[in-house]
């Protein structure tokens, strides 16, 4: 197949538009929080740090866009990256906790979250692995068991740090395996096996059980476990159809904890209303559609699975984050891709977009 001369400019434009929108909303949601934490002269603290991450992520995206596809699917490079991520996940467990979590490696001037970088790396691994074993996808010992062991290793380490990211990666891997043509009997067997594992995870940690119980009945503990879900609903409900206007939201004034991260969609709903929320969801739907077109137009199987994996990653992350904000799912601590504050998340997502844009040059 001949190589196209340009990447998908519509996909690139939509991604950049969402990033810029996210920067605006991060400043709106965090200025009042940054002032008491970092001084009255520094309301731009979170906004500035996110701008730096956007520049770094944009540079990484541009590099990945122009790499030869052979480099992206080189097993030596993929396994080296997997080893580095695995090392990072282990090191993070021994770092001082931040907000009670061992998710970050603290370095001079910034913090690194290895679980975020596991997303694009594992997608490349899954794409390479499945593409070469597509015709044997239903073989248990030669295909599914080795794949399951690798995913269990990474997901097991990640779940100790971030349950939401581990869940997302499992869903992405499952979607890619289903696309490869795995039998529904295998899917049913796998699903049944996940039930006791999920139950053990929920009941094995008191805070996870508390989140599930508060999700089922947040009004039972409005000042405790149910505080975040209820404040999120108040923010979205207050926004109405057109919103209160950018900067005029009230729930960010120390009612909704960390409104610039996991619950930024609630602030968007409050300040921009139903119109703003729907337009943002439409932008994500457009990204997913363009990603699906790239995957569908890929003749090379690695490109197909890699494009599918990145598309599923964006779709699942956005769906879970918005569902949490709307109290349709328990709180998971998963950022809204390209929008929520978080340098590692933004850089890793832009890297994933760089891979997808690279693959768009191969797509018909």
pTM for this predicted structure: 0.91
Backbone dihedral angles phi then psi of residue 101, each to the nearest 5 degrees: -120, 145
Across 249-265, b (16+ Cβ under 10 Å) vs e yields bebbeebbebbbbbbbb
The predicted-structure confidence for 8-53, as pLDDT tens digits, reads as follows 999 999 999 999 999 999 999 988 887 776 655 678 888 999 999 9
User: Which pLDDT belongs to residue 354?
Assistant: 96
Query: Nearest-CA neighbor of 263 among 175, 168, 329, 205?
Result: 329
User: Which pLDDT belongs to residue 1?
Assistant: 42
Do residues 216 and 222 lie in contact, with contact meaning Cβ atoms separated by under 8 Å?
A: no
Question: Which residue numbers in the chain have pLDDT < 70?
Answer: 1-5, 37-41, 100, 198, 200-217, 220-221, 223
Residues near 312 by Cβ (< 8 Å), separated by ≥ 6? 171, 172, 175, 176
The predicted-structure confidence for 264-290, as pLDDT tens digits, reads as follows 999 999 999 999 999 999 999 999 999
User: Which pLDDT belongs to residue 241?
Assistant: 92
User: Which pLDDT belongs to residue 40?
Assistant: 53
Residues near 102 by Cβ (< 8 Å), separated by ≥ 6? 92, 93, 94, 95, 160, 161
Query: Nearest-CA neighbor of 32 among 270, 250, 349?
Result: 250
- The Cα-based distances of 357 to 23, 72, 158, 229, 300 in angstroms read 22, 13, 27, 36, 15
User: Which pLDDT belongs to residue 206?
Assistant: 63
Do residues 166 and 173 lie in contact, with contact meaning Cβ atoms separated by under 8 Å?
A: no
Nearest-Å Rg of the Cα atoms of the chain is 20
Query: Nearest-CA neighbor of 163 among 340, 361, 332, 353?
Result: 332
User: Which pLDDT belongs to residue 171?
Assistant: 93
């Amino acid at each position: 197949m001949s190589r196209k001369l340009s990447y998908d400019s519509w996909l690139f434009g939509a991604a950049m538009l969402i990033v810029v929108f996210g920067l605006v909303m991060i400043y709106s949601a965090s200025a009042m929080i940054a002032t008491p934490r970092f001084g009255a002269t520094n309301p731009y603290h979170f906004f500035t740090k996110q701008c730096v991450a956007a520049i770094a992520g944009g540079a990484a995206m541009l590099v990945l866009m122009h790499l030869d596809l052979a480099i992206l699917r080189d097993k030596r490079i993929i396994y080296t990256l997997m080893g580095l991520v695995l090392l990072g996940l282990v090191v993070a467990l021994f770092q001082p906790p931040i907000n009670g979590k061992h998710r970050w490696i603290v370095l001079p001037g910034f913090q690194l979250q290895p679980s975020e970088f596991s997303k694009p790396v594992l997608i490349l691994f899954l794409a390479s692995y499945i593409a070469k074993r597509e015709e044997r996808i239903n073989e248990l010992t030669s295909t599914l068991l080795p794949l399951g062991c690798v995913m269990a290793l990474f997901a097991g380490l990640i779940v100790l740090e971030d349950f939401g990211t581990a869940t997302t990666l499992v869903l992405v891997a499952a979607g890619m395996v289903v696309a490869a043509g795995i039998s529904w009997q295998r899917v049913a067997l796998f699903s049944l096996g996940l039930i006791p594992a999920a139950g053990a995870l929920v009941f094995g940690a008191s805070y996870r059980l508390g989140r599930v119980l508060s999700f089922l009945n947040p009004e039972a503990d409005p000042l405790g476990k149910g505080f975040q879900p209820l404040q999120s609903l108040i923010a979205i409900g207050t926004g109405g159809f057109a919103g209160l206007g950018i900067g005029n939201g009230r729930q960010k004034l120390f009612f909704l904890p960390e409104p610039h991260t996991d619950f930024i969609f609630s602030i968007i709903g409050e300040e921009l209303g139903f119109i703003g929320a729907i337009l943002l969801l439409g932008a994500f739907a457009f990204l997913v559609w363009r990603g699906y077109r790239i995957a569908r137009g890929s003749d090379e199987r690695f490109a197909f699975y890699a494009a599918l994996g990145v598309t599923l990653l964006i779709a699942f992350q956005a769906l879970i984050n918005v569902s949490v904000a709307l109290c349709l799912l328990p709180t998971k601590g998963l950022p809204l891709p390209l929008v929520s504050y978080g340098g590692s998340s933004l850089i890793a997502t832009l890297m994933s977009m760089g891979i997808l844009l690279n693959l768009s040059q191969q797509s018909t």
